[in-house]
A = this chain, B = another copy of it.
Amino acid sequence: MKISSTVGFIGLGNMGQPIAMNLLKAGNPLRVYNRSRQKTRPLVQQGAVDFDNPAEVVEPGGVVFTMLADDASLRSVVFENTNFIERLAPGGVHVSLSTISPATAREMSAYHDRHGVSFLSAPVIGRPDRAAAGTLFILLAGRPEAKEAILPLLERIGERIFDFGHEPWLSNVAKLAFNFNIAAAIEIMAESFTLAEKNGVPRQRMTELLSETLFSSVIYRGYGDLIARHAYEPAGFRLSLGWKDLQLVLDIADESVTPLPIGSLLRDRLLSAIAKGRGELDWSALALGVSDDAGLRQ
């Protein structure tokens, strides 16, 4: 399978911009679109061409990446710009990097199929710093020949690709299940640090103990430090967005009839945080609720 050398990129937020920049730097002519146009500037300065309308970045038989905030934004781009799919067809490839619901991925996949376009779901793991360094982890699923065709592009943006097979939505399932682990790790660190604190062991000592022994990992080191210091601003990932992610997790739990007790606990924890006005803090701020409940912050 051959794809045109020009690449389209829609959605240039915190994550989209560094990813697009890596594609551009690798020598791929880039057509870009972002709702608020000023974000295209750094890319345009490096040679990208920007457009007024998402459908315009698409070329027949080309490849287009989307990195959008949520299901609704992706649906808007694909369904409300009817040219989008027609311009891409036939033989084009749409690589969706966003964290969306498997249900939307399923619907996208069927819709693209009907138009002879390959829909690849490729949500990524990593924050903006990894995106800039080109060391994201990519969860890839969709048609084998399409995956192969875009491999050289993906290698520019990620350090490793995890293949979840032919059905695009499976990489979205995996991404949600992954994020669920992060939220749970935040909660358990918060509980164990609070338990330590109330028994005379400083929170900071606990995060060292975890992250410098058997829990030595990016998540435990990074979030452990934030939670130990109650340092939730500026937000790396806003709590209100974390709640959206968890809702997607609970939705697939419902659809697949899967009880998820820690999911339920996080549901109440995040709702409480939002009710207390903490939605704009980093989502690790759910740890404040643990301290509240222990009478530490009245």
| A residues lining the B interface (CB < 8 Å) | 102, 125-126, 137, 139, 160, 162, 164, 167, 170, 173-174, 176-178, 180-182, 184-185, 187-189, 191-196, 198-201, 205-206, 208-210, 212-220, 247, 249, 252-265, 267-269, 271-272, 274-277, 289-290, 292-296, 298
Closest to A219 in B: B214
Q: Which of B126, B191, B201, B258 contacts A271 (CB 8 A)?
A: B258
Closest to A194 in B: B258
Contact assessment for B198 and A256 in the assembled complex, using a CB-CB cutoff below 8 Å: yes
Number of copies: 4
Contact assessment for B195 and A189 in the assembled complex, using a CB-CB cutoff below 8 Å: no
Known: A252-B195, A257-B198, A257-B271. A184 touches B188 (CB 8 A): yes
Q: Which of B170, B208, B257 contacts A295 (CB 8 A)?
A: B257
Q: What are the 3 A-B residue pairs with the smallest beta carbon separation, nearest first?
A: A275-B295, A264-B264, A259-B268
Contact assessment for A265 and B264 in the assembled complex, using a CB-CB cutoff below 8 Å: yes
Known: A125-B214, A188-B184. A295 touches B277 (CB 8 A): yes
Q: How far is the CA of A96 from the CA of B210 in the complex (A)?
A: 21
Known: A215-B217, A268-B293, A293-B275. A201 touches B180 (CB 8 A): no
Set of chain B residues within 8 Å of A261, measured between Cβ atoms? 187, 191, 265, 268
